[in-house]
Chain A
Amino acid sequence: MANIFPRWSNWLPIKILVCVAVVAASIVSGMAYYFTPKYTRVGYQPTQPVEFDHSLHVNQLGMDCRYCHTHVEKSSHSNVPATQTCMNCHTQIKALSPKLEPIRQAWKNGQPVPWVRIHKAPDYVYFNHAAHVNRGVSCVACHGHVNRMQVVWHDQPQSMGWCLECHRAPENHLRPLDQVTNMDWEPPAGTSQRELGQKFVREWNVNPPVSCAGCHR
Chain B
Amino acid sequence: MRADNPASQAAFLRASEYLDRKPLVSGKRSLAWITDHVCRIVEQPAPVWWWVATILTGALAALTPAMLTYLVATGVGVWGLNAPVAWAWDITNFVFWIGIGHAGTLISAILFLTRQKWRTSINRSAEAMTIFAVICAGIFPAFHVGRIWFAWWLFPIPNANAIWQNFRSPLLWDVFAVSTYFTVSLIFWYLGLIPDLASLRDRAKTRLRQMAYGLLSLGWRGSNRQWTHYEKAYLILAGISTPLVLSVHSVVSFDFATSIVPGWHTTIFPPYFVAGAIFGGFAMVLTLLIPFRELYGLHDLVTDKHIDNMCKITLLTGSLVGYAYAMEFFIAWYSGNPYELYAFINRATGPYWWAYWAMITCNVVAPQLFWFKTCRQNPWVVLAIVMFPNTGMWFERFVIIVTSIHRDFLPSSWGYFSPTWVDITLFIGTIGLFVFLFLLFVRFLPMITMFEVKNVTPEADPHHENGHETHGHPSPSPAARAHA
Contact = CB atoms under 8 A, between A and B. Distances in A.
Interface of A: 1, 4-5, 10, 13, 32, 36-38, 157, 159-162, 164
B219 A157 contact: no
Given A4-B214, A5-B214, A160 B161 contact: yes
Contact of A37 (B160, B162, B202, B214): B160
Interface string B200-218: 0110000000110010001
Contacts of B218: 13
Contacts of B201: 4
A162 B162 CA distance: 8
B161 A161 contact: yes
In the A-B complex, the 9 residue pairs with the closest CB atoms: A161-B162, A159-B160, A160-B161, A4-B214, A4-B210, A36-B160, A161-B160, A164-B162, A37-B160
Given A10-B219, A13-B218, 10 more contacts: A1-B202, A4-B210, A4-B211, A4-B214, A5-B214, A159-B160, A160-B160, A160-B162, A162-B160, A164-B162
Contacts of B219: 10
A38 B159 CA distance: 12
Nearest to B201: A4
Contacts of A13: 218
Contacts of A162: 160
B163 interface: yes
Contacts of A164: 162
Contacts of B162: 160-161, 164
A74 to B, nearest CB: 30
6 contacts: A4-B214, A36-B160, A159-B160, A160-B161, A161-B159, A161-B162
A29 B158 CA distance: 12
Nearest to A9: B219
Contacts of A160: 160-163
A67 B158 CA distance: 41
Nearest to B219: A10
A13 B219 CA distance: 11
A60 B410 CA distance: 69
Most A CB contacts (10 A, CB to CB) among B158, B161, B214 go to B161
Contacts of B160: 36-38, 157, 159-162
Contacts of A37: 160
Nearest to B209: A4
A161 B211 CA distance: 51
Interface string B292-307: 0000000000000000
Most B CB contacts (10 A, CB to CB) among A4, A13, A38, A157 go to A4
Contacts of A4: 201, 210-211, 214
A159 B158 CA distance: 13
Contacts of B214: 4-5
A32 B218 CA distance: 35
Contacts of B159: 161
A13 B201 CA distance: 18
Contacts of A161: 159-162
Nearest to B157: A31
A161 B160 CA distance: 5
Contacts of A5: 211, 214
Contacts of A1: 202
Given A4-B210, A4-B214, A5-B214, A159 B161 contact: yes
A1 B160 CA distance: 57
Nearest to B218: A13
A36 B157 CA distance: 13
Nearest to A35: B160
Contacts of B211: 4-5
A13 B218 CA distance: 9
A165 B202 CA distance: 63
A10 B159 CA distance: 40
A10 B219 CA distance: 8
Contacts of A10: 219
A10 B163 CA distance: 45
A148 B210 CA distance: 70
Nearest to B160: A159
A47 B478 CA distance: 88
Most A CB contacts (10 A, CB to CB) among B160, B161, B214 go to B160
Interface in B76-114: none
Interface string B160-183: 111100000000000000000000
Contacts of B158: 32
Nearest to A37: B160
B378 to A, nearest CB: 44
Interface in B275-311: none
Nearest to B217: A4
A4 B162 CA distance: 52
Nearest to B162: A161
A154 B21 CA distance: 80
A162 B159 CA distance: 11
A116 B59 CA distance: 52
Nearest to B163: A160
A28 to B, nearest CB: 10
A4 B212 CA distance: 10
A136 to B, nearest CB: 23
B149 to A, nearest CB: 15
A5 B214 CA distance: 8
A11 to B, nearest CB: 12
Contacts of B210: 4
B215 to A, nearest CB: 8
A162 B161 CA distance: 8
A119 to B, nearest CB: 16
Nearest to B213: A4
Nearest to A212: B163
A5 B163 CA distance: 49
B218 to A, nearest CB: 8
B213 to A, nearest CB: 9
B206 to A, nearest CB: 11
Most A CB contacts (10 A, CB to CB) among B158, B162, B218 go to B162
Contacts of A157: 160
